[in-house]
Amino acid sequence: MSGPPQPPRRPAANAGGTGTRLAWLDVLRGLAALAVVFDHASYSVLHHVRTIVYQWFDPGNYGVFVFFIISGYIVPASLERKGSVRTFWVSRLFRLYPLYLLAVGIAVALYLAHFGSIRGEDSDPETSVLSQLLMMSNVLEGKNLPNVVWSLSYEMVFYLLLTALFIARVHKRSSWYALGFAAAAVAVGGMLPQAFFTNNVATPRLIALVADLAVMAGLAFAVVLRGTSRLAGAIIAAVVAITLLAFNGGWIWPWQALSILALMFTGTMFYRAEQGQFPWRRAVAIGVTVLGLAIAAGLWHSRAWGMSAHAELLWSRRWVTAFALAGLTFAAGLAFRHVRWPRVLTWIGLVSYSLYLLHPLVIEVYHHYRWTRHPHPFGLQVLLAAGLLAAMIAVSSLTYLSVERPMQSVGRRVGRWLDARFGPDRIPDVVPVREPAMAGRSHPATD
């Protein structure tokens, strides 16, 4: 499942790169991003290390699991703190899309310059545009360009579902949603079809067009209208998203997708515990239960793949350790959230969205040169890996400073202008929560 990832940052929280309010999330994001980078880069360098590690552990799975838990932890905090669906989606648009469009543009440019592949997307560009338009390519049978954007599909599903729950004022039942999705992964996740609509109902282009129009119309109703019409629009968008996740997923299976939603709502539950809205003891018990159910779903449903006994043993080890270590990593972050961390560690987390989206493109450029494909001594592989990582961090730092941060500022200005022009957009009877002590960004792509 490797691929395959932030409320506006407060200057005081990032002072010196070690602000304790945000630093622990930055460190976790950086660690998760580096795990995904290792997963992809180790096909080219550090082959022996990869062989040893993958006997027991899948860093790619681990990295995205950590990202998803953090997304669930902080995205609802962003929406509830703002108290405004409109402001939330404006921030989402300016947070995610500029870098996403840049990554897709760079991938196309590298393809035209014969430095990389666009995974066959040039064969039907209209369908490709429709499947990528809402960052939901992995539930619209797209090819995920770059390959890591598959995870953004499930982030978007979560945002749409969260919006509907928030407008309906039932968003605080996070523990029930976590347990529900985890139980569904075990009970029905193996029976749900993969890419059902694409394979049996209509062409991928028609499905993507209908889904895009339905989601955009529903979201427009949720953002622009009031009362029952707003709720109806949010429900339409959420139902379309959940239906695509359950019946039209791409290269991950429905039980994996349901486990991802369970992880996100588990993160939300821990946010509520930190806010004093939910008992910590119960939160820990439910969190362990959700992880156990997700692990059980994988161990059970993966048997349908017909793997050999040895392959099944290896896969099972990696599935269990990735989930267990992701949970332990998040727990450790919570436990040490008041520790001050070095700037170098928090910076990697700060640029993690760029690092996550752009590192596959750096690897494609590296692969363009034939000498990189030859066997190399281990010492040289270490040097090449260090050089690749340095290049990735440099590129990510540049795009963060020149694209991400400026566009987030533009998004905040647009949100303020909309409030001044059309008035505040707070949901009635929903009291904004205090700013959480951990407010930061999440999966490389959270607010």
Return the SS3 of 430: coil
- Determine the Cα–Cα distance for residues 299 and 320; give it in Å rounded to an integer: 8
Q: What is the mean pLDDT of the chain?
A: 88
The string of DSSP letters for 21-32 reads: TTHHHHHHHHHH
Return the SS3 of 326: helix
Q: Is 17's pLDDT higher than 70?
A: no
Tens of pLDDT, residue by residue over 358-413, are: 999 999 999 888 787 778 888 999 999 999 999 999 999 999 999 999 999 999 99
Which pLDDT value is given to residue 433? 52
- Determine the Cα–Cα distance for residues 388 and 405; give it in Å rounded to an integer: 24
pTM of the model as a whole: 0.90
Tens of pLDDT, residue by residue over 231-269, are: 999 999 999 999 999 999 888 999 999 999 999 999 999
Q: Residue 184 carries which side chain, given as an amino acid letter?
A: A
Q: Is 117's pLDDT higher than 80?
A: no
CB-based contact 364:145 (threshold 8 Å): no
Phi-psi region of 222 (alpha: psi -120 to 50; beta: other; left: phi over 0): alpha
- Determine the Cα–Cα distance for residues 354 and 348; give it in Å rounded to an integer: 10
Count other Cβ atoms within 10 Å, centred on residue 97. Answer: 13
Tens of pLDDT, residue by residue over 194-236, are: 889 988 888 999 999 999 999 999 999 999 988 899 999 999 9
Q: Is 70's pLDDT higher than 70?
A: yes
Q: Is 54's pLDDT higher than 70?
A: yes
pLDDT classification of 115: cutoffs 50, 70, 90:
confident
